[in-house]
């Protein structure tokens, strides 16, 4: 149910913010009881912790993670500003301790993510959906035996103005959200269909969970159908998909192994529709095209209504499919004022959020081997649905400006000679950035996800010297810098759990491709 030829990526990636006041993030007073070892003896250690917080209908269960095998280190900038001193940690109860870390800034590096901080207590904890004792399988794909009745008349995909039918399988008891696809499409108009060779594909790529009926694990089978909704500003037909029928299946046992078919025998029932009105000002997104990249073209735009299992108290926890999905043709602009409706089969305890995004991409591809790449960037607004539609939907922050590499225009293709180039930018015209996220994407001839490295810096910065290990020789990259105005994100203290606190506002600028010698 995602925009055609746009891979689903979590719009929360890269969101960041800075605390109010004149201090650099993380430079305030230490938490009580953590700033000193004893009177007069400064604490020079840094403790990195990580808890998994599992959300279910009965509450949140916190389970500490073992960081002993995590690719984790601290990078301390050298006094001359070039290069870093690397420090390894020692596993301790509750996390990883790094000793003799001097006052000042340093990066906490976790795999390919780099967080600039001064904090002496740093939290890599995450929120998760479902039981804390759920067992993950080894596969993110499963065959399925689908026997479905009570379908709304099946629709065929034609184009964005006639997006057709789709099926999704969602749990909430365990972390399961997947598309259900048939080996052969049902005839148009079908209201029942049997396919012993259907298949499930997890949305996020994480392993599918084991279903345990003794723990009450159940799944929803949802059908999304297209609903015509007038015309676009350009004059073409507009339609969106929404959940029109669903069944919450009884608990059953299933262990995904990539071979055994999951039994999905469902008699779907109509889903009550919830109406709302919105004014989506596309032109307020497209006006920032040149700031995203002076030579870019308008690309995909989409509006979604998304369920949030077990409530919004911690923000957007868990991607569990869609309740409504509106994808527009490339290059659409103007204003869409419309009354829409969405089906919601979930309990009232689940939350509902809205997402509006507009993407821009390079006008010509970057060819690496047999693959064409289109460097791209996005402007996004994400909030509780009732908050998002309370006024016109428009950006809250615009892209950074004047992206440069070692002082030269980064929007022009070039070769980078330095092993540690300086990336710089200017602040956006609209909004006040609370943080910037610098993303390096290495372009390869593989059709898998492209390797990335991310650097999170506070919003009072406009440059970053890359570590020596950031760029590989003989490679092609592009650079994206995100300005983030989200008020509640704290990448210098708790990057993962705080990245889900609503609202989320971000905007990207992106470079042309550049090569390393």
Q: What is the CATH number of the domain that holds 120?
A: 2.60.40
* Residue where a domain stops, chosen among 103, 128, 153: 128
Do 204 and 261 fall into the same domain? yes
User: Would residue 467 count as lying in a domain?
Assistant: yes
Do 175 and 119 fall into the same domain? no
Strands (DSSP E) along 385-503, which ranges? 401-405, 408-409, 414-415, 422-426, 435-443, 452-458, 463-465, 476-484
pLDDT confidence band for 29 (50 / 70 / 90):
very low
Do 81 and 206 fall into the same domain? no
Containing domain of residue 240, as a range?
A: 129-271
Spatial contact of 511 and 460, defined as CB atoms under 8 Å apart: no
Say yes or no to pLDDT of 11 above 50: no
Do 148 and 262 fall into the same domain? yes
Spatial contact of 314 and 369, defined as CB atoms under 8 Å apart: no
- Count other C-beta atoms under 10 Å from residue 412's C-beta: 12
Q: How far apart are the C-alpha atoms of 513 and 517, rounded to whole Å?
A: 14
Do 171 and 147 fall into the same domain? yes
Do 96 and 182 fall into the same domain? no
What is the spatial order of strands in the sheet that 408-409 belongs to? 408-409, 401-405, 422-426, 463-465
pLDDT confidence band for 32 (50 / 70 / 90):
very low
Say yes or no to pLDDT of 381 above 90: yes
The domain total for the chain is 3
Say yes or no to pLDDT of 38 above 80: no
Residue 388: helix, strand or coil by DSSP?
helix
Residue with tokens 């040149």: 290
Amino acid 10: pLDDT: 46
* Residue where a domain stops, chosen among 271, 289, 313: 271
- Count other C-beta atoms under 10 Å from residue 28's C-beta: 12
* Residue where a domain stops, chosen among 71, 100, 128: 128
Do 81 and 156 fall into the same domain? no
**Tens digit of pLDDT for each residue in 114-172?**
999 999 999 999 999 999 999 999 999 999 999 999 999 999 999 989 999 999 999 99
Do 107 and 221 fall into the same domain? no
**Tens digit of pLDDT for each residue in 241-260?**
999 999 999 999 999 999 99
CATH of the domain at 434: 2.60.40.10
**DSSP assignment of 207-218, as one string?**
PPBPB-GGGT--
The pairing of strands 59-64 and 121-123 is: unpaired
């Amino acid at each position: 149910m995602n925009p055609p030829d746009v891979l689903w990526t979590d719009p929360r990636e890269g969101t960041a913010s800075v605390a109010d006041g004149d201090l650099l993030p993380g430079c305030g007073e230490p938490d009580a009881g953590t700033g000193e070892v004893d009177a007069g003896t400064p604490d020079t250690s840094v403790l990195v912790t990580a808890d998994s917080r599992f959300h279910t209908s009965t509450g949140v269960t916190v389970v500490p993670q073992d960081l002993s095998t995590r690719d984790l280190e601290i990078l301390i900038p050298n006094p001359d500003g070039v290069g870093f001193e690397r420090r390894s940690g020692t596993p301790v109860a509750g996390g990883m301790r790094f000793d003799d870390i001097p006052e000042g800034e340093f990066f906490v590096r976790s795999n390919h993510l780099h967080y600039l901080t001064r904090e002496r207590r740093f939290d890599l904890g995450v929120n998760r959906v479902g039981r804390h004792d759920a067992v993950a399988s080894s596969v993110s794909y499963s065959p399925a035996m689908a026997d479905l009745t009570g379908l709304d008349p099946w629709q065929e995909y034609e184009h964005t103005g006639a997006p057709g039918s789709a099926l999704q399988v969602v749990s909430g008891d365990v972390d399961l959200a997947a598309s259900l696809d048939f080996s052969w499409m049902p005839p148009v108009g079908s209201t029942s269909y049997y396919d012993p060779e259907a298949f499930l594909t997890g949305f996020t790529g994480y392993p599918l969970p084991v279903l345990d009926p003794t723990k009450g694990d159940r799944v929803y089978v949802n059908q999304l159908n297209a609903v015509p909704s007038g015309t676009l500003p350009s004059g073409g037909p507009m339609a969106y998909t929404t959940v029109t029928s669903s069944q919450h299946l009884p608990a059953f046992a299933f262990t995904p192994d990539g071979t055994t078919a999951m039994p999905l025998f469902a008699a779907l029932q109509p889903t009550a529709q919830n109406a709302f009105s919105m004014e989506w000002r596309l032109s307020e997104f497209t006006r920032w095209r040149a700031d995203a990249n002076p030579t870019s073209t308008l690309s995909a735009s989409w509006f979604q209504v998304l369920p949030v299992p077990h409530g919004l108290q911690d923000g957007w926890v868990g991607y569990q499919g869609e309740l409504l999905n509106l994808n527009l043709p490339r290059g659409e602009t103007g204003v869409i004022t419309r009354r829409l409706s969405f089906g919601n089969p979930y309990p009232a305890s689940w939350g509902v959020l809205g997402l509006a995004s507009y993407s821009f991409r390079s006008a010509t591809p970057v060819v690496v081997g047999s693959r064409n790449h289109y460097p791209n960037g996005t402007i996004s607004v994400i909030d509780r649905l009732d908050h998002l539609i309370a006024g016109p939907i428009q950006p809250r922050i615009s892209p950074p400006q004047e992206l440069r590499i070692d002082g030269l225009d980064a929007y022009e293709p070039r070769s980078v000679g330095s092993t540690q180039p300086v990336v710089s930018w200017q602040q956006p015209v609209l909004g006040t950035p609370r943080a910037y996220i610098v993303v390096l994407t290495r372009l390869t001839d593989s059709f898998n996800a492209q390797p990335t490295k991310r650097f999170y810096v506070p919003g009072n910065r406009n440059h970053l010297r890359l570590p020596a290990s950031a760029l590989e020789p003989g490679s092609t990259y592009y650079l994206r810098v995100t300005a983030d105005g989200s008020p509640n994100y704290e990448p210098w203290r708790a990057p993962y759990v705080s990245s889900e606190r609503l609202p989320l506002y971000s905007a990207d600028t992106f470079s042309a491709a550049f090569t390393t010698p």
